[in-house]
Amino acid sequence: MIELFNYLSRNTTKDEFKEILNIVTDDIKFNNISFEKITKFKNLADLCQATYKLVTRKDMLWIKVCTSCGYSAWSLKYDVKCSKCGGISKCQNTR
């Protein structure tokens, strides 16, 4: 468990680390403690990893809106051409 938190603290800013801990704590309080379930280490590790990706914007979905035709699409890639007209897409994070 210590290794997990050390990894998170080394690979995030102080504010990101606090945000990760707050999100994970809130999730455990709501989904586990309120239903009187025990949180297993693997579940905690998975939750921390998913929250890390969310907070640090790793593997985030981006929405692209084409400047030519207005068509929008979702993608994990930041820079892509519009699949409808081939125009330039402006990306916006979904967060």
Report pLDDT digits (tens) over 81-93: 788 888 877 765 5
Question: Could you tell me if 69 and 41 are in contact, meaning their C-beta atoms sit under 8 angstroms apart?
Answer: no
Distance of alpha carbon 55 from alpha carbon 19, whole angstroms: 7
The predicted pLDDT at position 17 comes to 92
Distance of alpha carbon 76 from alpha carbon 21, whole angstroms: 25
What pTM was computed for the model? 0.57
Boundaries of every domain in the chain: 2-55, 62-93
Tens of pLDDT, residue by residue over 40-80, are 888 888 889 888 888 887 655 567 788 788 888 776 665 67
